[in-house]
Chain A
Amino acid sequence: MKKLLLSVLVLLTIFAFISVAAGEEWAGADEQAEEAIKEINPNYEPWFSPVWEPPSGEIESFLFSLQAAIGALLIGYFLGYYRGAKHARNA
């Protein structure tokens, strides 16, 4: 079962990367939505802008990876703890 699930995961990942319509920009879907909004209502002006924006793309990716790292740390720490605790119970 686990093998099947993992193979599905790998296939989907490959699919996502190769079924690429050539020459696309890999922009965020939210940027495309912005464009769609401008098409529907060319007069719309965003009425609020972010209170703080990452000063550069590097800092933005840093903060995104920090977010992922926090999550991965929580998951990894507790899965290891549960596994060890189970081991100790059975010993």
Chain B
Amino acid sequence: MKNISKKQKSKYENLYYHPYKKNNIKDKLLTSISILFSTIAILPLVLVLAYILIKGGSLLSYDLLTNLPEPPGDDIISAGGIGNAIIGTLIITIIATFISVPIGIGGGIYLAEYSKGALFSKFIRFGTNVLSGVPSIIAGVFIYGIIVYTKIIFGSNFSAIAGGMALSILMIPTVIKTTDEGLKLVSQELRKGALGVGASKFVTITQITLPAAINPIATGILLAIARAAGETAPLIFTALFSFYWSSSPQSILEPIASLSVLIYNFAIEPYKAQNELAWAASFILVLLLLFLNILSKWLSKRTNLET
């Protein structure tokens, strides 16, 4: 114990802040490093957004949003528009949402309301976590193997449906998890109250607990949609791409364009016009995704305020 006082007294016997004391130098150094690291961490976002705004935003026009893209090499000056890709992204995402939301909410309801910690529910929870870690390209390979290759859906191979199914595999785990967690936040008292007046489990869930958990569930669905809408890997050999409009109802059985696949295809073309179209598509896609993310953030903030 004497050693401490001796050591302190020797050089810095007072309580003042000594900027050159070893500990203080170390603290300052680490603080600077951590601030430097966080600056590096936000730099990519700033740079990427800046480039998308400058390169993509400057190309924005009515024609760009409403025209069809032109196959590479046809026209050196213009690559056309991204109209069908915008529509295609919407169609594929809607298909994926229609598949994944019922499964996700149903599975979440089972986990939160019915399962009693049995082996089956443990396996489903585990499986949900595993499924959320499955690389997106694997979802594409799987759908290719089971749908595209076999032509099992009305004999069509590459199609909007196949693309939507591939995306839905990525959405299901998110929707299940947020439904499960959202329902668990609903107070047990509310549940008991409903059951206590003789409501059936079905009525309790659909009219009491599910409405009470609607905000976190909606947040989860939005996040899942935001992730799916930006995905490319599951689409490149399921939905493929198309240079035409997908206007008729049958066109969901045909290959379909999407913003993300357009960006991929046109980015690796050697033609400048196509590259620029990829930037324009990036601008629209990023705008859409940022909007969805901020919307879900706003929703989840509202949830936190309520509870």
Q: Do A and B bind each other?
A: no
Write the residues of chain A forming the contact surface with B, with a CB cutoff of 8 angstroms. Answer: none
